[in-house]
Structure 1
Amino acid sequence: MQYRRFRAPDMQKAIRKIRDAVGPDAVIMSNKRLPTGEVEILIAIDYDGSMTPKNGPQNKAEPSAVSAPIDSPSAAKPSASYQERIEQARNMSGASAPKAKGEAYEVFEEAPAPAPKRYVEPEPAIQEDLSIRPHVQERPSPDEEKLRAMEKELEQVRRLLEQTQEDKQQAVAQSAVAKRQTLDQRLQQQLKTLGLSDRVIEKIVADLSLTGREEDWKKALSHLADSIPIRSSSEAFSGCIAFMGPTGVGKTTTIGKIAAQYVLKYGSNSVVLITTDTYRIAAHEQLRTFGRILNVPVEVVNEYTDLNEVLDKYSEYSLILVDTAGMNPRDRNLERQLAMMKRARGYLKKLLVLPCTSQRQVLKTVVDVYSQIQLDGCVLSKLDESASLGEAISVVIEEGLPVMYVADGQRIPDDIEPARAHNLISRAVYTAEQFGQLYGVLKYGS
């Protein structure tokens, strides 16, 4: 057999070291504690139970060996060859020789060698006895105690400063939010005086960076003007245009204004007026009156004629203005009117006339009904009669309907012009201020 010694600070570490180096087949022959406090274990490699203890290493200083394999499941029994050697030794000593009669003798049977015992790791209490007890920490010096106290105080100060900084940042953020909310509410209240819808107001305010100064109002009005869809002014007063809308919105008057401006600028040779309003008695008489005054031809489209044939007849003209019948959105005859517009030539631009005197919901309903014919834009009429332009402005922004003309009076041909967003917003602010003052006078007296 081969023998090896292992040293470790305690028994547990020594056993772990033996397992890592040799494996579970090693057998502990002896163990002892050295003067240095370490534990020394003697193990046998390739242990053979048939060998007598005298074949092992001789070390008088060592205590009696405790032969135990590291991971043996049970205690090993003496081998058969060892028992045979005991019998041979008994025979050689004369135990089998004949004795004299009456001679007494004893036969000492050699006890079998003790079986190697399996090593079991000691319980915590036993392990504490085998291992070296931890070294008792000495009491720190006064200087060390002061240093540790200072470190604790510095740590507390650091945490206090961090908490103070976090509280300050949170307070600043809350103050900024409160200030922003105050500025938003103030600006929203100002925009409501124009008659704008909540949806448009929220969009305008959300897109701005407010400072609480007078420039916030100017920035809001400028952003509002940029939000209004405008049809290019270069397309105004030219081409083939049909004007549609409910009754009394100013379709015929708008046509008379545009025709008069064109005749004054270019002459009457390239202008023609067309009407499809055959539902009312003498409905086309007003348009014929404009034709006689301007000296331009007037055509009436009825159930016996086709709109496309009339458009083809005057296709050479620079300006063709088509007047349609004014109908309530719930009128059944409106479907026939819209069907005729759907069948019209593709170059016919369709404009919806929206009066600024109507409520926002009424305007929105009209847009929804007429949008099935793919409107090219709109005309905002009766600006001079409205107490608030915000309702009409909100509808064109929300519906994305471009504004082509604005009409603000009954005078022909003066009270109409191509739409300009900033002029429209200026007019809305002026209208709100004028009617706000009038309302105050009526409510509180002069």
Structure 2
Amino acid sequence: MRVKRYVVDSMPDALQKIRTDLGNDAVIINTKEIRSGGFLGMFSKKKIEVIAATDTAIPAGGAMTSNAATTGAIPKPELNVVPAAPMRFGTAAYGAQRERREQPPLSFPEVPDVLPVTGQAAAAAAQPAGATMVKPREELLMDEIRQMKEMMLKLTRQGTVQEAVNPVLKELEARLLRQELDPLLVEELLMNVSKEAEAEGAELTEEWASSSLKRQLEAMLCSSKNKSIAADTRIAHFVGPTGVGKTTTIAKLAAEQVLKHHRKVGFITSDTYRIAAVEQLKTYATILNVPLEVVFSPLDLNRAFEQLRDCDLIFMDTAGRNFRNEMYVSELNALLKSNGKSETYLVLSMTTKYKDMQAITHNFCKFKLDKVLFTKMDETDSYGSVVNLIREFGLQTSYIANGQSVPDDIQELNEHQLIDLILEAGKS
């Protein structure tokens, strides 16, 4: 018996080589995926290892013995060689197990020319019993394209050294990932750094690369739109999940409007689910000497607006619920009625995992959402979720809260300061 091992890119390549080397009587004993090539163990390509054998000594040209060529019968294998779950090669029943030795020889049709194999049906037909699943040609091609894309993203301006080897880019990548920026965004940013360096013929130093990253992040985050509550806004709605600090944030902004802008302010709360929530806002209302109305359903809103008709600005505090559930968002949307110009602020905590932020924002974006406000900046050293959220949803930023003191610990979000924190605080 002749046994040969082939390492190929796809099964059609293997079939052609086996047919040429071993002839039509060859059987495939085993197939499995392996990885080969690459640089320092990275970016290796997927290959397929195929073990094939034939029961008779066949010339190198792939010619069969005269008996096999004449009758098309399968030569009887040697008694001491029984391949494990072998496959008949070149037939429509390519995936079936080979017949037991005691059965009579079967007719063996001529093997057709090997054509490109496409589709899941062709992959299933080429799958032997007990063998490792072999991907269709299209999937193998897409895998190679993805690997090539990853490799291109990690080439330096010379095109011969990977960015991961460059200590400057490697450190910047680690720094951005520690700040929990999206890995795909990190790759895009660093690729642009390399392109800029190549275009300008600049040396890729840490200072130059950091400056390039700052420019990119500023272009992504900075906006000329007004972050604060507009002067002609009549109602400011504050929505968001539980525990993000909506009530405290409202108190801070209300104090700013009363003390700094001298506007007459009123409160409406629909947070009747949380124990002492109404009492908390009532305490702030007493301190600021502003009226407070409690609503239990959308039907109570008109009454509340009528009671606060003399106010210049009304802050509406909504109940914190599990807003990953779209049903709760729909219920809340019924409360966001306007009696004049309004703004809706989505309040999110910077200590929340980005995956949860993403789900919450996705549900709220189906309704009216004007700005996003971040809280608890003082409770985290990771700021990348802000960049991810703004980039993915295109939200307009507003305020950022960095403590519990009323009214001091709140300010308009400063993108330049945030970028410096991302690049500097990420240092190890």
- TM-score range for the pair, normalised by the shorter chain length: 0.5 to 0.7
**RMSD between aligned alpha carbons?**
2.7
The residue type paired with residue 260 of structure 1 is A
Q: Give the alignment of 1:27-426 within 5 angstroms.
A: 176-179=158-161, 181=163, 182=166, 184-208=169-193, 209-210=196-197, 211-213=203-205, 214-228=207-221, 230=223, 232-233=225-226, 235-236=228-229, 238=231, 239=233, 240-267=235-262, 270-303=264-297, 305-308=299-302, 310-311=304-305, 314=308, 317-330=311-324, 332-341=327-336, 343-345=337-339, 347-426=341-420
- For 2:219, the aligned partner's letter is D
SS in 2 for 1:379: strand
TM-score, normalised via structure 1 length = 0.53
Structure 1 residue 378 displacement after superposition? 0.5
1:326 shift after superposition: 0.2
- Structure 1 CA distance, aligned partners of 2:331 and 2:421? 37
Q: Aligned residue for 1:150?
A: none
Runs (5+) with no aligned partner, structure 1:
1-172, 437-446
**For the residues of structure 2 that align with 1:344 and 1:174, how far apart are their CA atoms?**
54
Question: Counterparts of 1:192 and 1:376 in 2: how far apart (Å)?
Answer: 29
Aligned-partner SS, 1:373: coil
Mapped to 1, the partners of 2:324 and 2:414 lie a distance apart of 32
SS in 2 for 1:241: strand
How many residue pairs were aligned?
260
Alignment check: 8 A CA contact 2:375 2:402 kept: yes
**Identity rate, percent:** 32
Structure 2 Cα separation of the partners of residues 304 and 191 of structure 1: 45
Query: Where do 4+ consecutive residues of structure 1 move more than 6 Å?
Result: none
Aligned partner of residue 284 in structure 1, secondary structure: helix
Whichever residue aligns with residue 359 of structure 1, its letter is: K
The structure with the largest alpha-carbon Rg is: 1
Q: Is the 1:229–1:396 contact (alpha carbons within 8 Å) kept by the matching residues of 2?
A: no
Task: Quote the residue 1:129 is aligned against.
Answer: none
Deviation at 1:399, TM superposition (A): 1.4
Q: C-alpha deviations, 1:304-329, integer Å up to 9, x for none?
A: 74335534654553322111000012
Q: What is the CA distance between 1:176 and its match in structure 2?
A: 0.6
Matched residue SS, 1:178: coil
SS in 1 for 2:283: helix
Single out whichever of 308-317 and 292-301 deviates more from structure 2: 308-317
Shift of residue 187 of structure 1?
3.5
Change (3 A) 1:292 1:393: same
1:397 partner SS:
helix
- Give the C-alpha shift of residue 389 in structure 1: 0.9
Contact preservation (8 Å) 2:351, 2:379: yes
Deviates more, 1:179-188 or 1:371-380: 179-188
CA shift for structure 1 position 411: 0.8
Say if 2:227 and 2:398, in contact at 8 Å, map to a contact too: no
CA change 1:338–1:304 in 2 (3 A) is closer
- Checking the alignment, whether the CA contact within 8 Å between 2:397 and 2:413 is kept in structure 1 is yes
User: Take 2:309 and 2:184, find their aligned partners in 1: how far apart are those partners?
Assistant: 43
CA distance in 2, matches of 1:234, 1:361: 25
SS in 1 for 2:189: helix
Whole-Å separation in 2 of the counterparts to 1:174 and 1:429: 21
Superimposed CA distance per residue, residues 139-187 of structure 1 (whole angstroms, 9 cap, x where no aligned partner):
xxxxxxxxxxxxxxxxxxxxxxxxxxxxxxxxxx997113573465454
Deviating more after overlay: 295-304 vs 327-336: 327-336
Supply the distance in 1 between the matched residues of 2:295 and 2:156 (Cα, whole angstroms): 67
Supply the AA of the counterpart residue of 1:176: Q
Counterpart amino acid of 2:395?
A: L
Query: How far did 1:190 drift?
Result: 3.2
In structure 2, the gaps of 5 or more residues are: 1-154, 198-202
Contact kept, 8 Å, 1:237 with 1:258, in 2: the verdict is no
Say if 1:377 and 1:225 are closer, same or farther in 2 by CA, change over 3 A: same
Query: Following TM superposition, by how much is the alpha carbon of 1:282 offset from its aligned partner in structure 2, in angstroms?
Result: 3.2
Q: What SS does structure 1 have at the residue aligned with 2:158?
A: helix
Q: TM-score if structure 2 supplies the norm length?
A: 0.55
Deviations 1:187-215 (A, max 9, x none): 42332232211132233234331341212
- How far apart, CA to CA, are the structure 1 residues paired with 2:243 and 2:156? 53
* Corresponding residue number in structure 2 for 1:36: none
User: What SS is found at the alignment partner of 2:277?
Assistant: coil
1:276 and 1:304 mapped to 2: Cα distance?
9
Q: CA deviation at 1:235?
A: 3.8
State the 1:251 CA deviation. 0.4
Q: 1:271 to 1:200 in 2, by over 3 A?
A: same
Preserved CA contact (<8 Å) 1:229 1:402? no
- Give per-residue Cα distances to partners, 1:307-353, cap 9 Å, x unaligned: 35534654553322111000012555443212322x44572211111
The answer as to whether partners of 1:242 and 1:321 remain within 8 angstroms in 2 is: yes
Q: Find the aligned partners of 1:225 and 1:309 in 2 and give their Cα distance.
A: 45
SS of residue matched to 1:176: coil
